[in-house]
Structure 1
């Protein structure tokens, strides 16, 4: 059954539960904390909440290492608390989607524990084990978190298990149909409970090359990146087709694939009218600020706005070709804050710039996703010691930089810039010591660049970033603009290098977006009779006939009815 695409006009807000709101004063956010702020999210204009993992987990990778798919981790509450959240969201006409992590489990999952305990059990084939007689690991693949993808089984010398990510995250063996059926049963259990769908983690890693052959090393460690043999490999489509047919299609679920590395030619299979998923995240422009996303400790890139534009519009063209949909994002739990990442000059890391970035992505074809705190214009932190970081990736990258002989201060600066902890600091509800997140010291230290960046202060300021996001969502739900925003074709406009410009078109409407991401005033020439319907700037220079001027980080949205 093809999807009805009921989700085309959703606005999704990603909650990182551990850092959203603590209601029992243990310093850790919980499910009841999400429930407590449903009215805030409703007022923001959110229609769907994506809840990052709350499953039982030892939290080696902050919940993306699941030890029980059908249990809530006690630090977040109980299954009754989840059911209460689901019910309260539905009362407000809001939907809940969850994270689905099925490339791997935790090494504490009962399946893996049984696989270790009894090599003859059926669970041994739920994972990937290889034996080597020469004392060497089976191949030279490097895990995404660094080091070999193989870890030796302590009780079985010469036997290794495979992990794309951390050693505590053994990969599931999707070649095993019995394992796949277990996964489908679990997914359908959640959908029957009443959630509306899933954001699906690391989904392009399910299929590995079964020759398990070593390949040409690509680093000083003699290893080669696992993505060359375990991402978007031939045969992946068969798994994804079966997954959809046996689960998502039965419930007309909304599904959002975290799909790194999907080539444009394969987009129709992923997000076309009968694609594997409702939409995917396109990360082609997401890591533009570093030279190599897999080795970001090596340094920042010298990207320019024209490079960002190129990637952004190439992405939009591939989506159009696929007749598909995308999840438009500028932040998530794995990225540093957009204002700090994409606004290079600290002088311009202002609310105006935060609103400019919001304008840039909000009117693209697809669905806008907001990550918690993004709507406030949250910024990166500054840590002075690697011991102050929780993020496993940050610590690993710091160690890799030191191994290469890089200056410790230089590596620490890069970790501060790129760390996933930037997005995971507690939500800033107030200007209090712990941001209104908790009365107890939080599990992760607060950000240290947060003056006036909080819900309480911004709610009172009609020109705040928060109220600008509310305006964006009001526009999306306004019948006057809804059709062109949701269904309009997208065309890039010719603009100066530092100006992002595009239009959305239907038969009788036109919406035009111009965003100056440079530090000089730019003149934009246009033709047509347009109404200024949104600007991020109180001091915006009035439009002249067929010409407008945009100062640094000013953005405008123009509208023409009956063109």
Structure 2
């Protein structure tokens, strides 16, 4: 009966959200930028206190949401490397002493809020570390176990024990974790390995949380429209990420990107936010930096994630200074002293562009994408127009020079979003693009 009541309440809340779409309480999501903060590597000290000192720099960069990778104590049993994986959690209600104390975390959270940023936590619901107290203190059915009674290990995650969501007490305990941190004042959660949990766990938990905190932001580390039905605001655009890598290698083209965007728009609800990225903690450590994977196209692909429909762009630790380094995942491997450079300016301008142009909003609020010049093999040329706000985009997605012949509909005087310089588009006059060159032109300066 409780499950049924929760589901009914969920339907009512979703209906209410649809009726109030675009309200002041949720409009901030539509042009938000996420920054994934790897506390261990973000500063030489690797603490909340040191990270707090850099929050004004993130605010100046134009960050709206600070996503903290897991902040909890890490298990010792089966630990990988010296310091272990953030995702092998030994205590969901405590702070990893490597990062400081609960008071340090609370000061970090308060400072971020005072600077106008929201903070979301990485929530690891699929598993604990093998030495979490629940493994021995709770009934055996709290974990998925093999034939010998040992908690199951998934994939190559040899430092974890998988929780059993067929056990109601596990669901309640994991909801209590969400409630604990929501009561602390965090603004939402990035839900790790979201596909590993039953859909109705998410639905039930989110209905209950949003009954007391309607503005929580919920990001699924998963791809699929069902997660939006579960109550998530945003999902990973993994398929797009791999496609951008393939285009940068020359294995795919702009035509493939157009086909992907069409299919994606048909699969997902208009209200969906799709987190788009050129790097994150998984890609950086295991697949390489954006410079390794994308080469000369790295900046081009990053800029593209800011202008595609439904995008909620992500910046990972170090990208704001162009740090070309694979972070060691299980060791202390911090960024060097943070000094603003051309990459800082690059992302600052992209973020300002996103905030200043409602045509680029996600969540079904921005302007529709309209292509120019037909199905050009290696060029993405399109407009995003909403009211009197016009954004015109030219992207050469190849290592060869290309050109577009603009039509009269896009002719006029604009401002280059990345340089701030005036630029004009003349109908019928060739708009030339060097290899991997792009131009994002807007109607108003910022």
Q: TM-score range by the shorter chain?
A: 0.7 to 0.9
- Structure 1 residues 320 and 290, CA gap change in structure 2 (3 angstroms): closer
1:53–1:64 Cα contact (<8 Å) kept: yes
Q: How far 1:534 moved relative to its partner?
A: 2.2
Q: Is the 8 A contact 1:543 1:549 kept in 2?
A: no
Structure 1 contact 541–549 (Cα < 8 Å) conserved:
no
C-alpha displacement at 1:377, in angstroms?
A: 2.7
Match of 1:285 among 218, 237, 240: 240
Measured in 1, the distance between the counterparts of 2:434 and 2:249 equals 25
Q: Displacement of 1:64 after TM fit? A: 0.5
Structure 2 gaps of 5+ residues are 1-12, 18-24
Partner of 1:526: 406
Q: Secondary structure at the match of 1:511?
A: strand
Residues 169, 46 of structure 1: CA spacing in aligned structure 2 closer, same or farther, 3 A cutoff? same
CA distance in 2, matches of 1:173, 1:374: 37
Q: How does 1:496-515 map to 2 (within 5 A)?
A: 496-515=376-395
Tell me the residue number matched to 1:127.
Answer: 143
Q: Contact 1:49–1:95 (CA<8 Å) still a contact in 2?
A: yes
Using the TM superposition, give the Cα deviation of residue 507 of structure 1 relative to its aligned residue in structure 2, in angstroms: 4.2
| Deviations, residues 395-415 of structure 1 (Å, cap 9, x unaligned) | xxxxxxxxxxxxxxxxxxxxx
Contact 2:32-2:355 within 8 A present in 1 as well:
no
1:500/1:516 contact within 8 Å kept: yes
**8 Å CA contact 1:518, 1:552 repeated in 2:** yes
The residue number in structure 2 matching 1:342 is 294
**In structure 2, distance between residues paired with 1:97 and 1:516:** 35
**3-state SS, counterpart of residue 121 of structure 2:** strand
Separation in 2 of the partners of 1:321 and 1:127?
Answer: 35
Determine whether 1:8 maps to 2:25: no
1:112-141 deviation line (CA, Å, top 9, x unaligned)? 133xxxxxxx4311101242xxxxxxxxxx
TM-score, with structure 2 as normaliser? 0.81
**Between Structure 1 and Structure 2, how many residues are aligned?**
401
Aligned partner of residue 357 in structure 1, secondary structure = helix
Structure 1 counterpart of 2:304, from 357, 360, 374: 360
Q: 1:85 to 1:560 in 2, by over 3 A?
A: closer
1:295-340 deviations in whole A, cap 9, x for unaligned? xxxxx98722337614651464146545422222221000032232
Contact 1:518 1:553 in 2 (8 A): yes
Separation of aligned partners in 2, 1:501 and 1:319: 23
Kept after mapping to 2: 8 A contact 1:259/1:280: yes
RMSD: 3.0
Query: 1:203 and 1:517 mapped to 2: Cα distance?
Result: 32
**What residue number does 2:442 align with?**
559
2:175 aligns with: 184
Within the alignment, does 1:426 sit opposite 2:304 as a pair?
no
Q: What's the counterpart of residue 319 of structure 2?
A: 374
Deviation (angstroms), 1:499: 2.1
1:270 equivalent among 227, 242, 255? 227
Change (3 A) 1:159 1:457: closer
Output aligned runs, 1:144-543, within 5 Å.
158-165=148-155, 166-206=157-197, 236-252=198-214, 253-260=216-223, 262=224, 267=225, 269-271=226-228, 275-288=230-243, 303-306=251-254, 309-310=257-258, 312-314=260-262, 316-318=264-266, 321-335=269-283, 336-343=288-295, 348=296, 353-364=297-308, 365-380=310-325, 390-391=328-329, 425-427=333-335, 435-436=336-337, 455-456=338-339, 458=341, 464-478=342-356, 481-486=357-362, 487-491=365-369, 493=371, 494-527=374-407, 528=409, 529-534=411-416, 543=425
Match of 1:52 in 2: 69
Q: 1:277 to 1:76 in 2, by over 3 A?
A: same
* 1:357/1:484 CA distance change after superposition, 3 Å: closer
Residue 93 of structure 2: SS of its match in structure 1?
Answer: strand
> What CA distance in whole angstroms lies between the structure 1 residues aligned with 2:33 and 2:379?
26
Query: Are the aligned partners of 2:220 and 2:236 in contact in 1 as well (CA < 8 Å)?
Result: yes
Q: Are 1:484 and 1:510, in contact at CA under 8 Å, matched by a contact in 2?
A: no
* Residues in 2 aligned to 1:9 and 1:538: alpha-carbon distance in whole angstroms: 20
- 1:443 aligns with none
Could you tell me which runs of 5 or more consecutive residues in structure 1 were left unpaired when the two chains were aligned.
24-28, 115-121, 132-157, 207-235, 292-299, 382-388, 393-420, 428-434, 437-454, 459-463
- Point out which structure has higher relative CO (alpha carbons under 8 A, 6+ apart): 2
SS at match of 1:519: coil
SS at match of 2:130: coil
